[in-house]
């Protein structure tokens, strides 16, 4: 499905973090819908290097790009030489900046700020020099403990959320300077869908619960999970928002969610129905009380206004669309 009237066929598009979850879906969106576009994927790709919490330093995986026919560049967005080569060797029309340290439990604040904040401004300068519209991944983690999910009410409670607030601040600094490109930050809520599996433990509970159920296990939920509700958004809606952000009515930062929070209990119930396997549910104590968001729900009024965005997927429809991929991954990667 095409989400814009723009003809991207003659355009050169950079996708940072293009071997990751959202980035790889963007790369294939352009390949499938605009085969004459030039898509450049820039990604660090994974190695065995980890942070102090044991999390991989990159979740980029070649399997997310199987079938991709565009340009692939392995590189680190913190590498000034690599960025200079991108600047000199291409003339980008659009930059989709998805690369980041996205694990909220990473403790290395210096690396998070360098990677998420400083490298973003470096890329933004390239975008301005090339006249390329910039679309980048912000996050609902910026809201943290806030009880109002609107831009301007951020209260991040971890370094990752803080770094995304700083990215948004940089965005408004450049907007206020009157740059000649559009800049749109997308505050993603809880995204799930195809090509997320290689995020490991940070992949959505949709795929994790799905594989528990297929393995014949009883899904483990935190006590009171029917009251732990989040704004879960299917990947196709996120891609829609990114594409519509190429031609916004104005620059700015907006929420990308469904505006309809659902519970973790709902996820398991829908999965059990779609998979036709019901081994009940097991409830365990929540060890994260006090450092856990019990409610998120995107206010998307501004998103509708600036992007013309409207969520197309309910949780029921999103999980149903995802089921074949959950089954395929279970057979090929889990069993």
- Assess if residue 2 is contained within a domain: no
pLDDT for residue 245 is more than 80: yes
Q: What's the CA gap between 173 and 155, in Å, rounded?
A: 20
- Assess if residue 227 is contained within a domain: yes
- Assess if residue 5 is contained within a domain: no
Please check whether residue 88 is in contact with residue 8, taking contact to mean a CB–CB distance below 8 angstroms: no
- Among the listed residues 160, 192, 309, 330, the single catalytic one is 160
Chain-centre distance of CA 135, in angstroms? Answer: 12
- Assess if residue 1 is contained within a domain: no
Mean pLDDT value across residues 119-146: 97
- Assess if residue 124 is contained within a domain: yes
- Among the listed residues 57, 194, 199, 244, the single catalytic one is 199
Quick: pLDDT tens for 22-60.
999 999 999 999 999 999 999 999 999 999 999 999 999
pLDDT band for position 294 (50/70/90)? confident
- Assess if residue 4 is contained within a domain: no
> How many domains would you assign to the chain?
1
Domain at 170, CATH number: 3.40.50.720
Please check whether residue 200 is in contact with residue 56, taking contact to mean a CB–CB distance below 8 angstroms: yes
Residue 190, phi then psi, degrees to nearest 5: -85, 100
Question: What are the residue ranges of helices labelled H in the chain?
Answer: 21-33, 80-89, 109-112, 119-130, 159-176, 205-214, 235-244, 264-275, 301-307, 315-329
Question: Radius of gyration over alpha carbons of the chain, in Å?
Answer: 19
Give yes or no: 199 in active site.
yes
Give yes or no: 29 in active site.
no
pLDDT band for position 325 (50/70/90)? very high
Q: What's the CA gap between 256 and 234, in Å, rounded?
A: 10
Chain-centre distance of CA 189, in angstroms? Answer: 8
Please check whether residue 138 is in contact with residue 188, taking contact to mean a CB–CB distance below 8 angstroms: yes
- Assess if residue 143 is contained within a domain: yes
- Assess if residue 63 is contained within a domain: yes
Domain that holds residue 315: 11-334
**Per-residue burial over 137-151, b = 16 or more CB atoms within 10 Å of its CB, e = otherwise:** bbbbbbbbebeebbb
Report pLDDT for 290.
Answer: 65
Q: What's the CA gap between 283 and 302, in Å, rounded?
A: 38
Whether this model's pTM surpasses 0.95: yes
Q: What's the CA gap between 83 and 23, in Å, rounded?
A: 18
């Amino acid at each position: 499905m095409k989400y814009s009237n723009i003809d991207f066929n003659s355009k050169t598009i950079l996708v940072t973090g293009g071997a990751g979850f959202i980035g790889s879906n963007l790369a294939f969106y352009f390949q499938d819908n605009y085969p004459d576009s030039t898509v450049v994927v820039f990604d660090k790709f994974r190695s065995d290097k980890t942070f102090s919490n044991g999390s991989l330093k990159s979740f980029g995986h070649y399997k997310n790009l199987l079938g991709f026919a565009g340009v692939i560049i392995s590189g680190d967005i913190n590498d000034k030489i690599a960025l200079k080569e991108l600047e000199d060797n291409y003339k980008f029309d659009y930059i989709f900046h998805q690369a980041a340290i996205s694990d909220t439990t990473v403790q290395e604040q210096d690396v998070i700020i360098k990677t998420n904040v400083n490298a973003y401004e470096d890329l933004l300068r390239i975008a301005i020099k090339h006249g390329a519209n910039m679309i980048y991944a912000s996050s609902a983690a910026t809201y943290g403990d806030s009880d109002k999910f609107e831009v301007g009410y951020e209260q991040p409670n971890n370094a990752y959320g803080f770094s995304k607030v700083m990215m948004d601040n940089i965005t408004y600094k450049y907007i206020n300077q009157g740059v000649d490109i559009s800049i749109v930050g997308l505050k993603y809520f809880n995204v799930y869908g195809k090509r997320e599996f290689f995020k490991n433990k940070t992949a959505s509970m949709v795929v994790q619960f799905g594989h528990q159920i297929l393995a014949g296990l009883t899904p483990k939920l935190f006590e009171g999970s029917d009251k732990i509700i989040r704004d879960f958004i299917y990947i196709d809606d996120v891609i829609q928002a990114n594409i519509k952000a190429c031609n916004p009515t104005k620059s700015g930062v907006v929420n990308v969610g469904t505006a309809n929070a659902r519970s973790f209990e709902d996820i398991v119930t829908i999965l059990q129905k779609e998979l036709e396997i019901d081994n009940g549910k097991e409830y365990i104590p929540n060890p994260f009380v006090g450092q856990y968001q019990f409610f998120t729900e995107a206010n998307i009024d501004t998103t509708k206004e600036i992007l013309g965005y409207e969520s197309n997927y309910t949780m029921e429809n999103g999980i149903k669309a995802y089921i074949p991929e959950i089954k395929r991954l279970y057979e090929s990667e889990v069993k």
